[in-house]
Amino acid sequence: MSVAILPPRVVVYEGNGADPLPPADRGRLVASLLDRGYAVTLAGASAATAAPDGAFVVIGRFGGGPPDVAGVTVVVCDITGASVDEAVQAVEVARGDRRMNRPDGAVDVGQHAGLEAWKPWFPVVDPARCTNCMQCLSFCLFDVYGVSENHQLRVEKPANCKVNCPACSRVCPDVAIMFPKYHAGPIDGGPVSEADVTREKMKVDISALLGGDIYAKLRERSAEAQKRFSRERSADQALAERRRCLTKLAEAASIPREVLDALPSPEEIQRRAEEASARAAAAKAAAEAAT
Amino acid sequence: MSVKDDAAPRILYCRCAYAQVVPAEVKAAVLEGLATSGVSFEAVPDLCEMAARRDPHLQDLVRGAPHLKIAACWPRAVRGLFALADAPLPDEGVEILNMRTDSAAAVLDGLARGVTAREATP
């Protein structure tokens, strides 16, 4: 799914010219909109005017006299007397054909029905800890990482990341890669202790655990499985072998099974790994030359 | 046109709508407390999602107020998300409250410090 879809923004306006919502309704309305994927600006009594900057709809209890927002592309909905559900429905209608990534289900509505929701799972780099070593860029086979114009590591294609896979955080020697939706620290962004640093450095040695470079081992083992496949002509056996060989890697780096199962052919893995390593080396060289 | 009172801290609330890593009762109570307090605030479904999309609204938030209070999760993660969105948070003037570990009361106390409620606004 593309990440180019920004959450539609709603202004709930209670400033000049609008009556305030009942306090209990205000919270429920905002919660309902957020749970459907809308961003909300609650503009209270101190707001001088409705602010449609970046918003597509302004809702409020205008008592039949909505504010003048002429010249701005925004829909104004008068929700005087409307229930929370009716106010949410008014927003949904105003959205029209605008696409959105709905957190409340796997699909969008209207003409975009059936589009899968994207769970925002991707690495976040802690700029205070990252030393620009590029190990993550070299490790990732899915082009999640890139390099900025000033030769710094950056997360370039977050949507390429495999949901629930925190493996690249395991190869970071500086505990600089976070997955905010991970269930435990320090990968979730929690404080980093000395023990964490030591532990993560040990985990960098997962390649040693496997007897060498991770991808080399993966290729070797997949190749072995392929040979066996040639000899035995048993696709099931080859698949079982591949699964067995990958179990250790999965455990060491917390890589979900489905991510490993979805890996491309050994040749493609090799090609991507070499490409990623070359990009990392070039970025490091450029960064060193610049300093 | 503007909704913000430039003298007051701006408040940003993250719903963390795409995952269950923030306790539901805490984020619900914080939102309820904010909604009944009468202050203006920004609420987003998910900061992670907005950062991934490099939503320009995050840059507006950083630029738009001398003080910003964010109710979300771990400060290290929140700072990383804003940096990812090309909207790095300044070292000064930003307070990040962690709904992942703190109680709703503690988060609301933090949000309320230095914020003018609707009723007190002339």
Quick one: closest CA in B to A14, which residue? B40
Closest CB to B118: pick one of A46, A126, A154. Answer: A46
Size of interface A-B (CB pairs under 8 A): 186
Give the mean model confidence (pLDDT) for residues A116-123: 85
Q: Choose between A250 and B11: higher pLDDT.
A: B11
| CA A106/CA A118 separation, integer angstroms | 8
According to DSSP, the β-strands at B10-14 and B68-72 are parallel
CB of B18 within 8 Å of any CB in chain A?
yes
Chain centroid offset of residue A155 CA: 10
Query: Per residue in A229-264, pLDDT tens?
Result: 444 444 455 455 545 556 666 666 677 777 777 777
Interface contact A44-B43, CB threshold 8 A: no
Contacts of B75 (CB under 8 A, 6+ apart): A189, B96, B98
Closest CB to A27: pick one of B32, B48, B100. Answer: B32
Query: Per residue in A8-37, pLDDT tens?
Result: 899 999 988 899 999 889 999 999 999 999
Residues in chain A: 291
Instruction: Give chain A's mean pLDDT.
Output: 78
| Among candidate residues A78, A68, A178, A196, the one with its CA nearest the CA of residue A122 | A178
User: Taking a C-beta distance cutoff of 8 angstroms, is the pair A59, A93 a contact?
Assistant: no
What residues does A11 pair with on adjacent strands? A41, A58
Q: Which alpha helices (DSSP H) does A96-163 contain, by range?
A: 135-139
Interface contact B73-A189, CB threshold 8 A: yes
CB of A212 within 8 Å of any CB in chain B?
no
CB of A39 within 8 Å of any CB in chain B?
yes
Q: Is the pLDDT of residue A228 over 90?
A: no
Q: Which residue ranges make up each domain of chain B? A: 14-112
pLDDT band, very low/low/confident/very high, at B27 (cuts 50, 70, 90) = very high
Please spell the DSSP secondary structure of A57-74, one letter per residue: EEEEB-TT-----TTS--
CB of B7 within 8 Å of any CB in chain A?
no
Which segment, B59-63, B80-84, B110-114, is predicted with the most confidence on average? B80-84
Q: What is the pLDDT of residue A214?
A: 55
How far lies A247's CA from each of A243, B17, B18, in Å?
A: 6, 32, 29
Give the mean model confidence (pLDDT) for residues B14-27: 93
Which residues of chain B are within 8 Å of residue A5 when distances are taken between CB atoms?
Answer: 53
pLDDT band, very low/low/confident/very high, at A79 (cuts 50, 70, 90) = very high
- DSSP structural state of residue A3: S
* Residues A153, A289, A279, A258, CA torsion sign: negative
CB of A191 within 8 Å of any CB in chain B?
yes
pTM over 0.90: no
Pick the residue of A6, A9, A40, A46 with the most B CBs within 10 A to test the interface with B by mutation. Answer: A46
Interface contact B56-A54, CB threshold 8 A: yes
CB atoms within 10 A of CB B20: 10
| CA A103/CA B19 separation, integer angstroms | 9
Which residues of chain B are within 8 Å of residue A32 when distances are taken between CB atoms?
Answer: none
CB of A37 within 8 Å of any CB in chain B?
yes
Q: What is the pLDDT of residue A51?
A: 59
Which segment, A43-57, A270-284, B9-23, B95-109, is predicted with the most confidence on average? B95-109
Closest CB to A45: pick one of B21, B49, B121. Answer: B121
Q: What is the pLDDT of residue A201?
A: 56
A248 exposed, middle or buried (CB, 10 Å; 0-12, 13-18, 19+)?
A: middle
CB of A287 within 8 Å of any CB in chain B?
no
Interface contact A120-B44, CB threshold 8 A: no
- DSSP structural state of residue A169: H
pLDDT band, very low/low/confident/very high, at A1 (cuts 50, 70, 90) = very low
Q: Choose between A75 and A69: higher pLDDT.
A: A75
Q: What is the pLDDT of residue A112?
A: 52
Smallest Cα distance from B97 to chain A, Å? 13
CB atoms within 10 A of CB B88: 14
Interface contact B50-A6, CB threshold 8 A: yes
Instruction: Enter the ipTM.
Output: 0.90
| CA A31/CA B32 separation, integer angstroms | 9
